[in-house]
Structure 1
Amino acid sequence: MQQSEAETQTAYAAVDWLAGQRPEMEALLGRIVDIDSGSRQEAGVAAVAQTLRAHLDAAGIATELHPVPGYGVLLDALVPGTADDAPVVLMGHMDTVYPAGTVARRPFRVEHGRAYGPGVADMKSGLVLNVFVAEALARCGGNTRPVRLFFSCDEEIGSPATRERIMDVARGAHAVFNAEPGRVSGNLVTERKGSMVVAFEVEGVAAHSGINHAHGASAIDALARKILALHALTDPERGITTNVGQVQGGIVANMVAPHAKAELDVRYTAETELDALYATIREIIERESLPRTRGWITDTRRTLPMARTPDALLALYQRGAQQLGFAVNGEFTGGAADSGLTASVGTPTLCGTGPVGGHPHTEREYCELSTFVPRAQALALAVIGLR
C-alpha cells in the first residue's frame, strides 16, 4: 500500500527529528555503558532499565519494569499506533558478558568516531537506538501499528528465565526488529545459527601421582579424551561447530585428578538434526573413555536458530535505507540471539538493526557512532512502512 503525501510528511518528521539527536544518543549510551550489567548482576541490569525508563518517561512513553528474580528486570514500553493492530516489537537485551568491575577498568570512551566500553555494541547502543526510534514516533507519529519496546535481561546466557515470555510477545506481534549490532560490513542479520551449551562433569579415582600412580584414574585424562571426540564433531559443511571453552579439574599437581568439569558450546543451523547430534554428544560424555572413570551431563541450555527473514521485511528496511543514502544487505551469522526465539514462532524477524559494531565480547568491542542516526532513521521508516 502506497503512503499518502501526509503520511510521507509525517514519516520524515520522525526522520528529521532523529537527525539532530546524535549528541543525546551518545550521552545516553555513555550512561548505560558505565553500568556493570553482566548476566545475573541483578542490580546492574535494573539500573540500566531504570536509566532507559527515565528517558522514556520524560518522552511521555508508558513503561513498565517486570522483576525477574536472579536476573534483573524486563523493560516493556508501548507507543500507540493509529490503528488497534498487532504491534511491531523493537527488541533488545540489557545484560552483557562482562563481570562486575569491568566498567571501573575500562569505562566508556570515544576515540576517532568510535565508542568503546563493555557492551557498547552488544547491545547497549542498540537499546539506545530503539529508545530514540520510539521517542521519534511518540513525538511525530506516522506508525499505524503500536510499537512495543521489549528489553530482556538474560540473553547472553541463553535466556533461561525469559525465553517463554519472549516467545509469547512474538506470537502477538506483526514483526520483530532485534537491535543486535549491525555487521562490520554494515549489513543486517537475516539468519542465525542456534547455540547449545552442555555442561558436564567427569569422575575419576584419586591417587598419589608418585607413590600409587597406577591405582588412580585421572578425570582430567578422561576429560581430555572426551574433548578430542567432541571437537571432532565440528562439520563446517553442515554448519556445525563444537568448542569446549571452559575446563576445571584436579586438586594439586601430585594427585591423580578425581574430578573435572567442562562446558561445551555447539553451534548449528535450522537444518541440523539436533536430537541426533545431542545423542552423540551424550554418548561421548557418558562413555568410559578411560577405565574406572565416568562422565555425566549436568546442564543443557539452548538458543534456537533464527529462520531466514522474509524477503518483504528485508526489502522494506532496504527501501528506507536507500532513501537515506546508504545500501544494506542481509547476511547469515554463526552467533545466536533471541531473534531465534521470535522467528521460531513464525513471526517475521529482522536482526542486527542496531548501530554497526565490532569485536563483541572482547576488550576491543566498539560502536561506529556515525551509524547511530542513519540506522535509527532507517528503522523508523521501516516501522512506519509496515501495514
Structure 2
Amino acid sequence: MRRCTALAFALLLALPALAGTPGLSSQEQQISAAVEAGRQDAVALLGRLVEQNSGTYHHAGVDAVANLLRPEFEALGFRVEWKPMTHTGRAGHLVATHRGNGRGKRMLLIGHLDTVFEPDSPFTGFRIEGNRAIGPGVGDDKGGVAVMLLALRAMHAAGALAPADITVVLTGDEEDVGQPVAQARADLIAAGKRSDVALDFENLSHADGRDMGSIARRSSNTWTLTVRGETGHSSGIFSASMGDGAAFELARILAAFRSELPEPNLTFNVGLLGGGEQAAFDAGKTRLAASGKDNVVPPVALARGDFRTLSAEQTRRVGEKMRAIVSRHLPRTNATLEIDENYPPMAPTAGNRALLAKLNAINRDLELEEMGELDPLSRGAGDISFVAADVDGLVGMGASGGNSHADGEYVELDSIPRQATRAALLMHRLAQAPH
C-alpha cells in the first residue's frame, strides 16, 4: 500500500512537468510520469537479477531468475507458466500472459533469462559507477527485462494495461539454444502465431551517438566440412594414384568460399580447422584433435564455421553456392558439407518499418530525436527471428550499454526510463489499434 501511495503522489508531482509534451494524451502523460516514479525500483530489480548467476548451463540459476520475476508479472495480472526444457538440455522458459479486451494488437514481448557468464566466471556482482550499472548480463538481457517490467508497471499504474493483450516469453537458452531447435523454440513460435506484433527487449543499438531502431536481424547458420583423400608418402603427392590430398582440397574449398560467396548482407567465417593422418572433432565440435607427419599426405581434413544472412532466400542461395563449390573435387579427393540453420533471419519488411514509424511518432511526441534504421550487419542473431515470418517486429527495446558478453558489461542508467517510456507508450497505442 505504501508503494502504491508513493507512486500516486509521484504521478501528481510529475504531471505538471509533462505539460510541455502536448503530443501525449492525459493517460500517456500519466504513463510517462509512472516510469519516472518507478525507475529506482527498476534499478533495484536489475541488481537482484544480476546478482543471481544465470549462465545458460547453470540451470538452477536460470530457474532462480525466473522465480525472481514470476511475482513481478503476477502482481500486474499476468498468468505465469514455467516451461521446462530438460528434453533439449536446457533449463526452461518463462511465459507470462495478460488477457485484455481482445480489440487491440496482440503483442509478444521477448527477452531472455540466461547470460554467457557461467558460475565459474571471474566477472561477478552488481555495482553502480556514475551513470553506469555494471555486472554480468546487466545489459544482455537483464537490463532489457528491467525495462520491460518498468514499462508494464507504468501502464498498470496509469490504467493502460487492463485492455492490452500481451504475451511475454523469456527464454532460458538464448545464448546457446537447446537441441533440437524446433522443440527448444516451440513455445516462442506458438506465441508468435497468436500475436500481431513482437518487441524484442535486447540492447538498444547506436550509430554515431544516436539511438537507432532495428527492424532486421541476420540468421546464424553453422557449417561443417569433412574432406577425405588418399594417403601415403609425400613424394607421391599430385600423382595419378595419390591425387592432391585432403589438405589441398580443404584449402581449395575455403579459397573458393572467399572469392565466390561475398554478396551484400552476407558474412561467413572459418572458426576451426585441421587435418593430418588423424583428425576428429570433440562431441560439441568446439575442439579438434589432429596428428600427422611432414612426409605423409593427410587423408582427412576438417573445418567448421558459420554464415549469416538477411533473408531465408539468401540462406538457401548461399547454401547452394557452398555445396556447388564443395562438389568440384580435386583429383582423388572427396568432401561433404553439412549446414545447420540455427537462427532464422528477420528480414526488413514494410510492416517492420511501419512499426518503427509508430515508435518515431512517439519520439516526436516526447521531443526525442527520431531513430533511423540500424544496419543489420550491426546486430547478431536473436530469438525474435523465430517469429519474424508471422509478426511485425522491432529489436532493441532494452537498455543502452556496452561491453556485452565481456568483463565490464554495463548499461547506462538514464537509458532505462527513456526506453521504458518509449515501450510503454508504443504498447499503449498498439493496444488501441484494431488487430
Tell me, in whole angstroms, the C-alpha distance in 1 between the residues paired with 2:341 and 2:388.
Answer: 21
Tell me, in whole angstroms, the C-alpha distance in 1 between the residues paired with 2:233 and 2:131.
Answer: 58
Q: State the partner residue of 2:203.
A: 181
Tell me, in whole angstroms, the C-alpha distance in 2 between the residues paired with 1:126 and 1:267.
Answer: 24
1:244-297: CA deviation from partner (whole Å, max 9, x where unpaired): 223465434647666554332212223854323212223444554574453442
**Change in CA separation of 1:287 and 1:123 when aligned onto 2, cut-off 3 Å:** farther
Tell whether 2:204 aligns with 1:162.
no
Unaligned runs of 5+ in 2: 1-21, 280-289
Q: State the partner residue of 1:232.
A: 259
Deviation at 1:119, TM superposition (A): 2.7
The answer to whether the 8 A contact 1:90-1:150 is kept is yes
1:64-85: CA deviation from partner (whole Å, max 9, x where unpaired): 1111221221111123434455
Q: State the partner residue of 2:70.
A: 53
2:413 counterpart (358, 369, 373): 369
**Change in CA separation of 1:14 and 1:38 when aligned onto 2, cut-off 3 Å:** same
Tell me, in whole angstroms, the C-alpha distance in 2 between the residues paired with 1:51 and 1:206.
Answer: 59
Tell me, in whole angstroms, the C-alpha distance in 2 between the residues paired with 1:305 and 1:289.
Answer: 37
Deviation at 1:369, TM superposition (A): 1.7
- Root-mean-square deviation (Å): 3.4
Tell me, in whole angstroms, the C-alpha distance in 1 between the residues paired with 2:246 and 2:42.
Answer: 52
Tell whether 2:398 aligns with 1:354.
yes
SS at match of 2:65: helix
1:179-210: CA deviation from partner (whole Å, max 9, x where unpaired): 1211123112022323322234345667799x
The one-letter code matched in structure 2 to 1:23 is Q
Count of residues in correspondence between the two structures: 378
**Which residues in structure 2 correspond to 1:247-326 (within 5 Å)?**
247=273, 250=279, 251-252=290-291, 254=293, 259-270=300-311, 272-285=313-326, 288=329, 291-292=332-333, 294-297=335-338, 299-308=340-349, 309-326=351-368
Tell me, in whole angstroms, the C-alpha distance in 2 between the residues paired with 1:232 and 1:176.
Answer: 38
The one-letter code matched in structure 2 to 1:111 is E
Q: State the partner residue of 2:106.
A: 87
The answer to whether the 8 A contact 2:267-2:307 is kept is yes
Tell me, in whole angstroms, the C-alpha distance in 1 between the residues paired with 2:247 and 2:388.
Answer: 40
The answer to whether the 8 A contact 2:311-2:347 is kept is yes
Tell me, in whole angstroms, the C-alpha distance in 1 between the residues paired with 2:269 and 2:342.
Answer: 15
SS at match of 2:338: strand
**Change in CA separation of 1:358 and 1:173 when aligned onto 2, cut-off 3 Å:** same
**Change in CA separation of 1:197 and 1:64 when aligned onto 2, cut-off 3 Å:** same
TM-score (ref. length: structure 1): 0.83
**Which residues in structure 2 correspond to 1:201-212 (within 5 Å)?**
201-203=226-228
Deviation at 1:317, TM superposition (A): 1.7
**Change in CA separation of 1:207 and 1:189 when aligned onto 2, cut-off 3 Å:** same
The answer to whether the 8 A contact 1:205-1:293 is kept is no
**Change in CA separation of 1:303 and 1:27 when aligned onto 2, cut-off 3 Å:** same
The answer to whether the 8 A contact 2:244-2:330 is kept is no
**Change in CA separation of 1:383 and 1:220 when aligned onto 2, cut-off 3 Å:** same
Q: State the partner residue of 2:376.
A: 333
The one-letter code matched in structure 2 to 1:96 is T
1:316-345: CA deviation from partner (whole Å, max 9, x where unpaired): 222323333322314232232222232212
Tell me, in whole angstroms, the C-alpha distance in 1 between the residues paired with 2:352 and 2:335.
Answer: 47
Tell me, in whole angstroms, the C-alpha distance in 2 between the residues paired with 1:307 and 1:179.
Answer: 18
Tell me, in whole angstroms, the C-alpha distance in 2 between the residues paired with 1:290 and 1:35.
Answer: 57
**Change in CA separation of 1:232 and 1:32 when aligned onto 2, cut-off 3 Å:** farther
**Change in CA separation of 1:90 and 1:243 when aligned onto 2, cut-off 3 Å:** same
Tell me, in whole angstroms, the C-alpha distance in 2 between the residues paired with 1:212 and 1:364.
Answer: 54
Q: State the partner residue of 1:101.
A: 120
**Which residues in structure 2 correspond to 1:6-45 (within 5 Å)?**
8-45=25-62
The answer to whether the 8 A contact 1:233-1:241 is kept is no
Unaligned runs of 5+ in 1: none
**Change in CA separation of 1:351 and 1:298 when aligned onto 2, cut-off 3 Å:** closer
TM-score (ref. length: structure 2): 0.75
Answer with 373-382 or 336-345: which moved more. 336-345
The one-letter code matched in structure 2 to 1:30 is G
Tell whether 2:107 aligns with 1:63.
no
Q: Highest CA radius of gyration, 1 or 2?
A: 2
The answer to whether the 8 A contact 1:152-1:162 is kept is no
**Change in CA separation of 1:230 and 1:36 when aligned onto 2, cut-off 3 Å:** farther
The percent of aligned pairs where both chains have the same amino acid is 27
The one-letter code matched in structure 2 to 1:25 is A
Q: State the partner residue of 2:167.
A: 148
**Change in CA separation of 1:192 and 1:198 when aligned onto 2, cut-off 3 Å:** same
**Change in CA separation of 1:97 and 1:326 when aligned onto 2, cut-off 3 Å:** same
1:161-180: CA deviation from partner (whole Å, max 9, x where unpaired): 43343232122112111112
Tell me, in whole angstroms, the C-alpha distance in 1 between the residues paired with 2:244 and 2:53.
Answer: 42
Deviation at 1:47, TM superposition (A): 2.5
Q: State the partner residue of 1:128.
A: 146
The answer to whether the 8 A contact 1:306-1:339 is kept is no
